[in-house]
Amino acid sequence: MGAFFALGIFQGAVYGLLAVGIVLVYKAKRVFNFAQGEFGGVAAFAAFYLVVNLGLPYWTGILGGLAAAVAMGLAVERVIVRPLESASRTIMLVALVGVALFTIAIIVLLGQPVPRVMPPLVEGSGVNILGAGILPQQLILLAVLAVLAAAMAWFFKTDLGLAVLASSQDTRAAQVVGISPVAISRLVWGMAALLGGIAGLLYAPVGIFTPGFMTLTMLVPAFAAAVLGGMTSLPGAFVGGIAIGVVQNLGIYLLGQQLKVPGAAELGVFALLMLVLLIRPQGLLGKEA
């Protein structure tokens, strides 16, 4: 049981990292970014291509992966988000779902749907935490999550961050500050893609990865984490991510292993999501707005 707890914390770190990007986009644009996971997918596959297929050094893989993610983020902003600015939120969400499926399809077309193994950032055997073997890669992931969540929370206290927030209330308010809404939109999507890319790069080496690995298994828990944290709170995304990871793994332990319920991990996440939305819709750390 302790091992499941520890596994949950580290599994939760990747949810938290995705949730930070989701919260960023929601705070700035009031949009649910269903393409957040695929920023990571693109980064992971680009890095794999550079490092494994071409045999280039690891740092080029990281840079190339992040560049690919940011390029995708800016492309999504230009091609999808901006033209649909005036469409309903639901249409925007459907389009972003489309972006995620589209990206997965492209990756499959170019790279075949075979499992891949990405070498880790740091070699070495795992450390034992509460009876669970935790890879160095996962320790890095948790640390990076903490740093990035804090950095994003700080960002929203800077003048630029406040301008981004103001633009979510009223596009003209940001213009008064002297920043064009288009620049803010680019900035937000570029940053979100960067965060997604980091998540993908750090998580891909933890196990084997296949096309769509970030969207198909990570996205819903990551959204649950963001909602649990209150959707606009960055510390909330951090705490929410870890909490979802723990609940998921305790679900696997209690429901799956003890009671033999199929799909225990998903059931745990769904139950927690419903509980939060029905009882405390503003989330654990969320304030109104």
CB of 159 to another protein, least distance (A): 18
Residue 264: both structure tokens together: 């225990």
Pick between residue 101 and residue 254 the one whose CB is nearest to another protein: 101
Show the site string, 248-277: x = touches another protein by CB under 8 A, - = not: -------------xxx-xxx-xx--xx--x
Pick between residue 32 and residue 203 the one whose CB is nearest to another protein: 32
Residue 266: both structure tokens together: 């998903």
Kindly give, in sequence order, each residue whose CB lies less than 8 Å from that of residue 138, ignoring residues fewer than 6 positions away. 10, 13, 206
Q: Is 208 helix (H, G, I), strand (E, B) or coil?
A: strand
Strand partners, 133: 128
Compute the distance between CA of residue 122 and CA of residue 232 in angstroms, rounded to an integer. Answer: 33
Kindly give, in sequence order, each residue whose CB lies less than 8 Å from that of residue 143, ignoring residues fewer than 6 positions away. none
Pick between residue 96 and residue 198 the one whose CB is nearest to another protein: 96
User: Hey, which residues between 38 and 97 contact another protein (CB under 8 A)?
Assistant: 79-80, 83-84, 87, 89-91, 93-95, 97
Pick between residue 153 and residue 219 the one whose CB is nearest to another protein: 219
Part of the chain binding another protein (CB under 8 A), chosen from 2-10, 64-72, 154-162, 171-179: 171-179
The alpha carbon dihedral of 168, 171, 177, 182 has a sign of positive
Please give the C-alpha separations between residue 235 and each of 166, 223, 278, in angstroms, as whole numbers. 20, 14, 22
Pick between residue 3 and residue 267 the one whose CB is nearest to another protein: 267
Applying CB under 8 A, which of residues 146, 173, 177, 285 lies at the interface with another protein? 173
Strand partners, 128: 133
Contacts with another protein by CB under 8 A: the residue count is 50
Part of the chain binding another protein (CB under 8 A), chosen from 130-138, 140-148, 190-198, 222-230: 222-230
Pick between residue 30 and residue 127 the one whose CB is nearest to another protein: 30
- Burial (CB count <10 Å: 0-12, 13-18, 19+), residue 140: middle
User: Hey, which residues between 97 and 156 contact another protein (CB under 8 A)?
Assistant: 97-99, 101-102, 104-106, 108-110, 112-113
Compute the distance between CA of residue 251 and CA of residue 264 in angstroms, rounded to an integer. Answer: 5
Segments in 112-158 forming alpha helices (H): 136-155
CB of 98 to another protein, least distance (A): 4
HSE toward the beta carbon, residue 14, CA cutoff 13 A: 27
Pick between residue 193 and residue 228 the one whose CB is nearest to another protein: 228
How many other C-beta atoms lie within 10 A of the C-beta of residue 270?
A: 15
CB of 134 to another protein, least distance (A): 25
CB of 122 to another protein, least distance (A): 33
Compute the distance between CA of residue 26 and CA of residue 93 in angstroms, rounded to an integer. Answer: 12
Binding footprint of another protein on the chain (CB under 8 A)? 31-32, 79-80, 83-84, 87, 89-91, 93-95, 97-99, 101-102, 104-106, 108-110, 112-113, 169-173, 216, 220, 223-224, 227, 261-263, 265-267, 269-270, 273-274, 277-278, 281, 288
